[in-house]
Structures are given as structure tokens and as C-alpha cells.
Structure 1
Amino acid sequence: MAALLWLLIPLFAAIGAAIYAGIAARAGKRKSGGDVAELAGYARFREAMERRPSDSDAAA
């Protein structure tokens, strides 16, 4: 009987990990749309880096 108990511990741990992974993946999907915002931010960054500094920027 004790051997059965020791075999159940990893089983419960695996079930708990699967439940946690499912909840974490579901929460990540709710925050989805971050890719679009991230790509837009990267495009703004690229545009800013491609711009040449103006005379007023050089004085600062």
C-alpha cells in the first residue's frame, strides 16, 4: 500500500502541473493582442532610428 502512495504523488503532481499549464495558457490568450502592439512599437522605434537628427535635437 505504501508503494501505491508513492506512485500517486507524481501522478497528482503531473495532474496539478497540467491544470496549471492550462490556466496559464488561457490567461496568456486573454492578454493576446500584445503582438500587434509590440510590432507597432517596433515600427515606431525603427522610424525614430531612421530619422536624422534635426538642428534643434543637436543643440539639446
Structure 2
Amino acid sequence: MGALLWLLIPVLAGLAAALWSSWAMRNRKSGDVAELAGYARFRAAMERQEPAPTVPDPASDPV
């Protein structure tokens, strides 16, 4: 009887692994719409040409 209990451990581990793998490989319905929209906003922000802020030169300060 003890040997059957020890065999139950790998069987339960196999069932748990099968359940986990079926959950991990499920079809997700969310899609890539949000990720693609975020990437498009990122590209638009990177392509914008904004002038660099100018720092006043302390040597040309008339004070």
C-alpha cells in the first residue's frame, strides 16, 4: 500500500503539469491592439523634431 501512495505523487504531479501547460498555452483574446497603438505613439514621439532648449552663456551675461 505504501508503494501505491508513492506512485500517487508522480501521477498528481503529471496531472498538475498537464493542467498548467493547458492553461499556459490557452488562446488569449486580448490581441496586440493596445501594444501596437502604444508602439505607434512611441514612434510618433521619437520622430518629432523639437528644438533643444537653449542655455544662456554665463560669459555673455551683461550683469
* TM-score of the aligned structures, taking structure 1 as reference length: 0.60
Corresponding position: 1:44 with 2:25: no
How do 1:19-58 and structure 2 match up within 5 A? Answer: 19-26=19-26, 29-30=28-29, 32-33=30-31, 35-54=32-51, 58=53
* Dislocated runs of 4+, deviation >4 Å: none
Q: Which protein is richer in helix relative to its size?
A: 1
Gaps of 5+ in 1: none
Quote how far apart the aligned CAs of 1:48 are: 0.6
Identity across the alignment (%): 59
* TM-score of the aligned structures, taking structure 2 as reference length: 0.59
Task: Quote the Cα distance in structure 2 between the aligned partners of 1:48 and 1:12.
Answer: 52
Matched length: 54
Q: Which has the larger radius of gyration?
A: 2
